[in-house]
Amino acid sequence: MKHLSNQRGFTLLEVLIAVTITALIGVGASQLLSNISDIKTSTEVRSTSLRYLQRMDTFIRKDLWQITGREIKDSYGQYQLSAKTDGDYLFEFSRSGSAFQLLNKSGVSNLQRVAYGSFSHTSEFCDDAIKPLEESEYNNCLVRFFWPVLDRTSDTEPLAQVLLDQVRNVEIKFRGQLINTNNPAETVRSNDWLDEWPGEYLESGVVPDLVQVKLQLEDRYLGRFERVYEVPRFAFNGL
């Protein structure tokens, strides 16, 4: 006597539905993992950019806090202002407390000449920069220069240090005051930001004293950055 079984197999439609659901779950999981990976990569890139930005900020803050009024002689023997914007750099100035102060026992000054400039990735100064693999409008790097001596000769070359790369629209602006050396109480201060230094502050009979420096730039990953740096009072006339 034959026994009839109550069990039956899946229909083709049920199998297709199960396969479809499994495939959708797989695609969703794959997209989720891909999104997590992209977020992780983006976070790491932004974190790295932030570290470089903080390092750049530290260098500039320390340099400007030790700015001094020491003029220099260029390779032609001509005197150059202690702080100026004309020339090949965004800003060039003298500062104290350089790394060479360790050599003071042998008569080497602890003063140092420093400059900041923005250059294209095609420049030799940006050789150490992390250049983007694809075309990008953020194709500049911010470079810090420093010279081993203050008064230069024809063969004196600066050392270059890339502080930040993949940036654009780098600008440095200045705010200062006019010091009457005979009567400092008559010092005149302006709230206007200047594109050049000393610019209109270079007048006879007064000392142009730098008060604040503002750096503006756009970073590829962090966007627009703006920072105002304070300069020590009366750094340029020894008051």
Domain count, the chain: 1
Amino acid at 190: S
Q: Is residue 237 part of a domain?
A: no
Q: Is residue 239 part of a domain?
A: no
Amino acid at 122: T
DSSP 142-162: EEEEEES-SS--TT---EEEE
| Rounded Cα gap, residues 82 and 102, in angstroms | 23
Checking if the pLDDT of 204 tops 80, the result is no
Nearest Cα residue to 90 out of 69, 127, 63: 63
Which range (106-115, 169-178, 218-227) has the least confidence?
106-115
pLDDT for position 96:
87
Q: Is residue 5 part of a domain?
A: no
pLDDT tens readout for residues 108-166: 568 899 999 999 988 998 888 776 656 778 889 999 999 988 888 888 889 999 999 89
Which range (51-65, 145-159, 187-201) has the least confidence?
187-201
Q: Is residue 236 part of a domain?
A: no
Checking if the pLDDT of 235 tops 90, the result is no
| Separation of CA 70 from chain center | 25
Q: Is residue 125 part of a domain?
A: yes
Q: Is residue 27 part of a domain?
A: no
Tell me the average pLDDT across 64-81.
88
Q: Is residue 47 part of a domain?
A: yes
Q: Is residue 28 part of a domain?
A: no
Looking at every residue in the chain, the average pLDDT score rounds to: 80
Sole residue written with tokens 């539905």: 17
pLDDT for position 115:
96
Nearest Cα residue to 158 out of 144, 171, 170: 144
Nearest Cα residue to 59 out of 88, 91, 107: 91
Angle at 194 between CA 188 and CA 195, to 5 degrees: 160
Is pTM beyond 0.85 here?
Answer: no
pLDDT tens readout for residues 15-50: 677 777 877 777 777 776 666 665 656 667 677 888
| Rounded Cα gap, residues 48 and 220, in angstroms | 12
Residue ranges making up the domain that contains 52:
42-230
